[in-house]
């Protein structure tokens, strides 16, 4: 049993026995394991060790559909967050971004957006851009089914539109895993596929100093930085949140401006 699992079990007991006296119900205080949408394809920790077709190769093949970075002559970069909205970590990520006046791009799963619409709306209301990260976070390469892709994308698109009022044009694949036919189908669905050039590797749950180093030692003008505001039930993004307090001011001091992905790569974010 992990430290994070023990933490949520302890919180569960506290809210179960003290909640009625404090006027707090379990549903409003913390997610319940049985209702929490876990990624269908497995955790980042187990899946990201696989190596499907390189996104760099796919970007060369489909430059009009797939983007990995912006103009390297401009001092702009984009923070992106995957796998939310997650009530355990997304609020704190949003608080940090607000503290430093930074707008980011959030690639959300439909299942979690549906479960936590208030968080989805907060992301939108605070000026961040929302992208499509499928409904249930399956491994699309392993599924190898174009109908599954289309269903996952359209279902999530409808959910996002229902809560924030626009149909996103941005897509990121779970784990970043795609192959030719998947990219072609996404193009037919009028999506821009967003990859990254800087991976924080925060899914490894390293110390904040390590996550910060992974970003700061690899960043460049035009970089799209991959981070996560969501995790599976046993996962923890606390160190991601802590690392932002080092990453954001350091990069600002270096003269880099944080912008959203659509601004960085000059593409539309609405259908």
> Within a 10 A sphere around the Cβ of 37, how many other Cβ atoms?
21
CATH 3.20.20.370 fits 39-265, yes or no: yes
Question: Can 228 be counted among the known catalytic residues?
Answer: yes
Name the one residue in this structure whose structure tokens are 């895993």.
Answer: 177
Tell me the C-alpha distance between 75 and 23, whole Å.
49
Predicted confidence at residue 34, as pLDDT, reads: 72
Q: Which residue in 86, 133, 228, 236 is the catalytic one?
A: 228
Under 8 Å between Cβ of 237 and 229: yes
For helices 208-216 and 238-253, angle between their N-to-C axes, nearest 10 degrees: 40
- Name the CA dihedral angle for 197, 227, 129, 156, rounded to a multiple of 10 degrees: 100
- The values of phi and psi at residue 224, to 5°, are -105, 120
Tell me the C-alpha distance between 75 and 68, whole Å.
16
pTM: predicted TM-score of the whole model, two decimal places:
0.87
Under 8 Å between Cβ of 103 and 127: yes
> Within a 10 A sphere around the Cβ of 27, how many other Cβ atoms?
10
Question: Contacts from 252-256 at CB under 8 Å and sequence distance 24+?
Answer: 252/100, 255/75, 256/75, 256/76, 256/77, 256/219, 256/221
Q: Where are the domains of the chain?
A: 1-30, 39-265
CA distances from 194 to 5, 99, 105, 204, 230 (A): 32, 26, 10, 22, 18
Predicted confidence at residue 23, as pLDDT, reads: 42
Under 8 Å between Cβ of 169 and 267: yes
Q: Which residue in 82, 83, 202, 229 is the catalytic one?
A: 82
- The values of phi and psi at residue 62, to 5°, are -130, 65
Tell me the C-alpha distance between 41 and 196, whole Å.
20
pLDDT tens for residues 153-176?
999 999 999 999 999 999 999 999
DSSP state of 270: B
Structure tokens at 214: 């992974």
Q: Using 50 as the pLDDT threshold, list the residues of the chain that sit under it.
A: 1-5, 7-9, 11-29
Predicted confidence at residue 167, as pLDDT, reads: 97
């Amino acid at each position: 049993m992990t430290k994070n699992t023990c933490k949520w079990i302890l919180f569960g007991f506290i809210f179960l026995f003290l909640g009625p006296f404090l006027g707090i119900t379990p549903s409003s205080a913390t997610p319940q394991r049985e209702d929490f949408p876990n990624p269908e394809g497995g955790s980042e920790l187990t899946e990201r060790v696989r190596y499907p077709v390189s996104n760099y190769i796919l970007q060369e093949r489909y430059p009009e559909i797939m983007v990995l970075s912006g103009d390297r002559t401009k001092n702009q970069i984009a923070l992106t967050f995957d796998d939310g909205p997650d009530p355990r970590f997304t609020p704190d990520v949003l608080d940090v971004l607000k503290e430093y006046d930074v707008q980011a791009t959030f690639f959300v799963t439909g299942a979690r957006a549906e479960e936590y619409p208030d968080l989805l709306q907060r992301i939108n209301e605070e000026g961040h851009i929302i992208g499509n990260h499928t409904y249930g976070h399956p491994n699309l390469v392993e599924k190898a089914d174009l109908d599954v892709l289309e269903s996952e994308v359209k279902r999530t698109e409808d959910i996002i539109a229902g809560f924030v009022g626009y149909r996103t044009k941005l897509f990121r694949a779970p784990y970043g895993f795609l192959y030719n036919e998947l990219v072609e189908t996404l193009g037919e669905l009028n999506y821009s596929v967003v990859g990254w050039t800087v991976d924080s590797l925060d899914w490894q749950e390293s110390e904040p100093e390590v996550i910060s180093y992974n970003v700061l030692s690899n960043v460049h003008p035009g970089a799209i930085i991959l981070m996560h505001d969501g995790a599976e039930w046993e996962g923890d993004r606390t160190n991601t949140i802590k690392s932002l307090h080092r990453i954001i001011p350091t990069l600002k001091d270096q003269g880099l401006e944080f912008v959203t992905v659509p601004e960085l790569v000059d593409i539309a974010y609405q259908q």
